[in-house]
Structure 1
Amino acid sequence: MAVLVTGVAGFIGFHVARTLLARGEEVVGIDNLNDYYSVALKESRLAELRPHNRFSFHKLDFSDDVTLMETLRDAGIDRIVHLGAQPGVRYSIEHPMAYAKANLVGHLSMLELARHTPGLKHFVYASSSSVYGGNAKQPFAETDPVEHPVSLYAATKRADELMSVSYAHLYGFPQTGLRFFTVYGPSGRPDMAVWLFTEALFQNKPIKLFDDGRLLRDFTYVDDIVAGVLAVLDGPPNGERPHRLYNIGNNKPEPVTKLLEIIEQAAGRKASVISEPMQPGDVPATYADIDAIRRDHGFEPTTPLEVGVPRFVDWYRRWRGL
């Protein structure tokens, strides 16, 4: 039987699929390869996965429920890792309909696929730390109220969680939502701070620090994220409680200024900095309480910023041929 990974050409989806293949799983990947960021980067990830004889890929948009069902009806899937989505807080300000299609209609399409998949063992899906909005209490815990999102992106992710709760109640198949906290690492997303800072540094362009650099983020290395995703995938909730939510983060908020300092050290360059005000939809800090996922699945992040960021910078040099 196979694991379906949506967004398989995306950052986290690629790393999850690669690790599943490495442990001997059969993986079915889907992605629509949209141009939100470099399609060439997405294709390069797929190029690493395609040689595996246990990997198959379908280019499709999972918000198209008819095509989704027709394509995957006989794919032999028994687990789903739904990571595909329209990401980005700031992009949602200017392109709201992209989020309605991918994150709302798309999530519902995936839930429909899941409930019509005989013998489905587990449906794991990506949520986001953004659902906590501007919560003042730190660290963010899964029991905290999340009814005041400050971006459309956050609102769609919270809606996904609620849809999953209803489907778990109605149809009983096990589901787990994961609230990711600022994931970074090799082959990362070009719209994230780690990439943006590194690229600006190598291009001798100024780097924008929002809120005068006072922002705090719980930066989480992708290998730690993948370990958590697979641990959760392998431990579905029981029948009495078919839906669960977990934070998955590094459990250590770091100043964005520290991120920049480590990038400067790894690149051997000094940045020119421009201070900018806080952006609409942004929050001053994120900080994951990971007691629940630690207790239930043994999750323990092991990669500090000082180790993970130089790995990204090394990868970026190779990617750009520097």
Structure 2
Amino acid sequence: MIIPAEFSLIARHFRPLAAAGALDLKDDAALLTPPAERELVLTADAMVAGVHFLPDDPPDLVGRKLLRVNLSDLAAKGAVPLAYLMTVSTPRDTPEAWFAGFAAGLAADQATYGVSLLGGDTTSTPGPVSLSLTLIGHVAPDTAIRRSGARDDDGIFVTGTIGDGALGLAVARGRLSDPSGHLLDRYRLPQPRVGLTLAGIASAGMDVSDGLVQDLGHICQASDLAAEITADLVPLSDAARAAGPAWLETCLTGGDDYELLLAVPPNREAALYHAASTAGIPVTRIGRFHSGPAEVIIRTANGEPLALNRGGWSHF
């Protein structure tokens, strides 16, 4: 029997990643038994070479970023990751070493985050490498954090630092220096905030993928509230501060942070700080929600409005 090249590639690189329910990646579907008394949470993201990663990025980091941007979505829901489905479309001349590196990156993060591959599809394409991953997680019933639900006087919090991913892309394109390598690393390898307890603490939330200002606007729209943040309170890394004030707008709007953006009532802020300390994840209060038109207002340290030339990343 002649084994098609596609099946041989799957056996070499992806079968070692497969969960038991994947049926050894030899069937047209997979089997998954949800944990008892839990609700499933599903998310999907696509990554295209030249759009979401650079064509010469190391393939292991491409694989890890693909998994991590989806893990970030689940983290924003307060969900525990479980397993994933994946589609890989590559040009016919993609070298074997690329697949080996890509699979090795996935294997490393599967071990870190406790997830496994259930199945998916592989195909060739005349265009750039195109990847899609659907991640499945679970939460206790009725505890998933949504974009809607923010309330008047909720504090606005972010995890980690903002702007490193967008600045890292500028570094990769030769527009900015990065002596420490921190910014480029943050662009290529996000740090999903899996493990931060949000149920019973955050009233709304999402991850920051398309820019802090734009994603905060999504919560405003879903919750029918206004938001005010102080630019000086937005946490920046040492590398981002070293880039200088000319890059502040990029930090606020550039995207690729994959940090969490949360609405937290005043009486739960202490609980958030405790949960963040337990998880080893820094959190910073940068503003508050209040009644009014669904918009984001940015202020300087002295309270003056700060106008921006752009709102965030657009997928179209």
TM-score (norm: length of structure 2): 0.23
Higher RCO (CA-CA < 8 Å; seq separation 6+): 2
TM-score (norm: length of structure 1): 0.22
Greater gyration radius: 2
